[in-house]
Structure 1
Amino acid sequence: MKKIMVLLVFLIVGTSLISAERPYDKAAEATFEALRSGDYSILQPYLDDAMKVAFNEEKFMAFRDDMISKYGELRSYSFVKEGKTSGFILGYYNFEFEKANVTLRLVFREVNGEYLLSGIWIDAVNSREAGIPLGVALFFPVLGGFLALSTFYLLGFRRIGVAEIILGIILVGITLAIQPLIQNAPFLAVGIRSNSEVVAKGTVFVVFASIWLGFVAGFFQESLKYGLSKGKYLNEALFIGIGFGLGEAILVPALQAIQLATVGGVTPKLTTALASMLERYLATLFHAGTTVVLAYAYKNGFGKKALLSLSIAHGIIDTFAAYYQFRPSTVVLVITYGLLLAVSLFLLRYGLPKVKEEREEDRIVW
């Protein structure tokens, strides 16, 4: 009998502990309901003063729209674990979306006996959708770059400039280190830190943001290629451009893979991987074409005019690419690839015959 009583007491105590409400559960519930419904007024009473400024309705809607666009509709949530740091309580919750389970780290602070939300962070993303392994997905864009290299080989450019390809890859490293700093500077200056915050400001702002990002990329990259290719043999310039395309095909997906492996995300699909392969193939053709034309133009006295023209063309293409990052659309993607293909073919049709005609004594030496 005593054993039965002890068991009953244990069950009663255990049940009460399991069902005991955490002091910040109401704030967590409000966070879920606000994200699910899009009603900021549900969450606002549970924000501390600093959070009401940092996470105002515009920032909230941008955050929510970004989550919904990536992971689908929010279905449910559940408590995972608790942590503490410097007077704050960290509540880890699993938010179940259609396409992924997202672990949000909610930061709570006690204010006058009430626990208020003081911060919200994405801690991890685990895809719920079937896809291809990350290593396989990474292979496709790299393959696109090497298919472009093979295309030039089949076109008769059998003497591959390994040193020039390496120089092109180095240029990509410089681009990845510096270009984003220039592109992001005006956004950071006004407190914009994510794509979703750009989208939240409306179509006009998205268009101008896309133009800025696209033209910075165009002028920065073409200036780098111009500086390295002027005075080079056209064949050398060709492989510098190919190297630039290969560098993008290798380094950009590698950085994305590191981010995906660290934070998590939606598992890549085969269609997305194939699209990335096509994009890297076309981009490598484009970089090869622009670099040849820049080198030829410099040799014939109209280098700066060519630099300006190609930077503008590059900027227009990347404007559409940037817009697609903000607002994914099949139409925008097709326009981007169409422009990339058309400009690449035009440049290569103009430049490749000149590479084949070039003689050793045609090189400029200053």
Structure 2
Amino acid sequence: MRKVALIFIITMLAFYALAQQPYDEVAKAVFESLKTGNYSILEPYLDENMKEAFNEKSFNALREQMISKYGGLKSFEFIEEGKSGKFALAYYRFQFEKANVTLRLVFSQTNGEYKLSGLWIQKVVWREKGIPLPLAVGLPILGGILALLTFYTLGFKKIKGAELILGFFLVAITLFIQPVIQQAPFLALGIKSNADITAKGFAFTAITAIWLGFIAGFFQEGLKYAFMRNKRLKEALFVGIGFGLGEAILVPLLQVVQSFILGGLTVQLTQALLSLFERYIATLFHGGTTITLAYAYKNGFGRKALVVLSIVHGAIDTFASYYQLTNSQISLIMTYGTITAITLILLWYAIPKAKVEGEEGKVVW
């Protein structure tokens, strides 16, 4: 019996040794540091380049993003290993409260020891089952359609298809060109992610949000103004509605494509309903701004209206950008509160002017 027991113990120890990976100790340090927020646990396992690139600020920014998005960290396990040139790759599944996140850890060997040279999020699998994809995409689109119906009930029953198409075309231009302008300085600085931005502190994050917001405000309102000159007010309204409908359709579709590239899309019902409201109020906002721009141009204060609306739009998008960077709930509330208040003011100002305008004249664009 003693010999059998000894053989069993030796066998178990051999299996345990084989199951252990040479970089498990580093992975454990990654886990403990992310779980506790203690960077000093991980720092000794970083190579020199990683210590410089992934300093304590960068670590804290990444951790805050992951915890706020995925919940508390519970456990981790090894999945597989690989190789890329002189680097060893190891994939570990980190189990958070809301999702299983696969991290790709990149290792280099220094004096026979494995040091961490890189850390990447490879895949995210949410624990909670989201709503069906068609519903997740359809609810924001429904928000744009409801805005169109709102204007219809306000008396604008003659839908102008050409202007809707023009608005859709303008938002397509916006979605392709505006991000290039917004991201240019960050690419020049070597900043590749939200974590890189928030790692630089509150001041840099706030300045980034202002930059993103005001580029959006001035680009979109400037583009709309260029096409609103000499437009009749009702024509201008439907260009704005087309712009809002374009966002309601194209933005969710682009998010679906992006999410599939990054590892799938999981949308909760609450998120989808917020998106529905966001697209609804945004379409109303765009309708109000285009009427206002057309009216201001006709009455000799077009440039002043352009500047004011661009600043207002920029302020709204600044709150939205800060939320996207930090997941701050206060920023989210400020975004929805501000755009709702501004939209109501715009509609109160613009709708009566568009209603009393005559119907003579024909659109040409």
Q: Structure 2-normalised TM-score?
A: 0.90
Aligned to 1:357: 356
Aligned to 1:90: 89
Following superposition, the deviation at residue 291 of structure 1 comes to 0.8
* 2:240 paired with 1:226: no
Aligned to 2:191: 192
1:148-187 equivalence runs, <5 A: 148-187=147-186
Following superposition, the deviation at residue 324 of structure 1 comes to 2.1
Instruction: Choose 237-246 or 348-357, whichever is displaced more.
Output: 348-357
Give the distance between the partners of 1:84 and 1:203, measured in 2 at CA: 38
1:1-366 equivalence runs, <5 A: 12=11, 16=15, 19-264=18-263, 267-359=266-358
Give the distance between the partners of 1:93 and 1:239, measured in 2 at CA: 52
Q: Letter of the aligned partner of 1:151 in structure 2?
A: T
Give the distance between the partners of 1:22 and 1:338, measured in 2 at CA: 52
Following superposition, the deviation at residue 110 of structure 1 comes to 2.1
Contact kept, 8 Å, 2:244 with 2:282, in 1: the verdict is: yes
Give the distance between the partners of 1:357 and 1:133, measured in 2 at CA: 44
SS in 1 for 2:355: helix
Give the distance between the partners of 2:316 and 2:274, measured in 1 at CA: 16
Identity %: 59
Q: Letter of the aligned partner of 2:76 in structure 1?
A: Y
Following superposition, the deviation at residue 80 of structure 1 comes to 0.6
Following superposition, the deviation at residue 68 of structure 1 comes to 0.8
> Judging changes above 3 Å, is the alpha-carbon distance between structure 1 residues 335 and 34 closer, same or farther for their aligned structure 2 residues?
closer
Give the distance between the partners of 2:13 and 2:71, measured in 1 at CA: 36
Give the distance between the partners of 1:38 and 1:265, measured in 2 at CA: 28
Unaligned runs of 5+ in 1: none
Q: Letter of the aligned partner of 1:174 in structure 2?
A: I
Give the distance between the partners of 2:84 and 2:155, measured in 1 at CA: 64
Contact kept, 8 Å, 2:148 with 2:241, in 1: the verdict is: yes
Q: Structure 1-normalised TM-score?
A: 0.90
Q: Letter of the aligned partner of 1:183 in structure 2?
A: Q
SS in 2 for 1:296: helix
Residues 164-205 of structure 1 show CA distances to partners (whole Å, capped at 9, x for unaligned) of 212212222211212122222333333333223333333333
Residues 37-86 of structure 1 show CA distances to partners (whole Å, capped at 9, x for unaligned) of 22222222222222222212211111111111100111110011111222
SS in 1 for 2:345: helix
SS in 2 for 1:209: helix
Q: Letter of the aligned partner of 2:177 in structure 1?
A: I
Following superposition, the deviation at residue 269 of structure 1 comes to 1.8
Give the distance between the partners of 1:78 and 1:15, measured in 2 at CA: 19
Give the distance between the partners of 1:271 and 1:13, measured in 2 at CA: 49
Contact kept, 8 Å, 2:235 with 2:363, in 1: the verdict is: no
Give the distance between the partners of 2:51 and 2:156, measured in 1 at CA: 61
When the two chains are superposed, the root-mean-square deviation of aligned CA atoms in Å is: 2.5
Contact kept, 8 Å, 1:226 with 1:295, in 2: the verdict is: yes
Q: Letter of the aligned partner of 1:159 in structure 2?
A: K
Unaligned runs of 5+ in 2: none
Give the distance between the partners of 1:328 and 1:47, measured in 2 at CA: 28
> Judging changes above 3 Å, is the alpha-carbon distance between structure 1 residues 85 and 329 closer, same or farther for their aligned structure 2 residues?
closer
> Judging changes above 3 Å, is the alpha-carbon distance between structure 1 residues 364 and 296 closer, same or farther for their aligned structure 2 residues?
farther
Residues 80-133 of structure 1 show CA distances to partners (whole Å, capped at 9, x for unaligned) of 111122222211110001110000111112233222211111110000124322
Instruction: Choose 186-195 or 157-166, whichever is displaced more.
Output: 186-195
Q: Letter of the aligned partner of 1:60 in structure 2?
A: F
SS in 2 for 1:159: coil
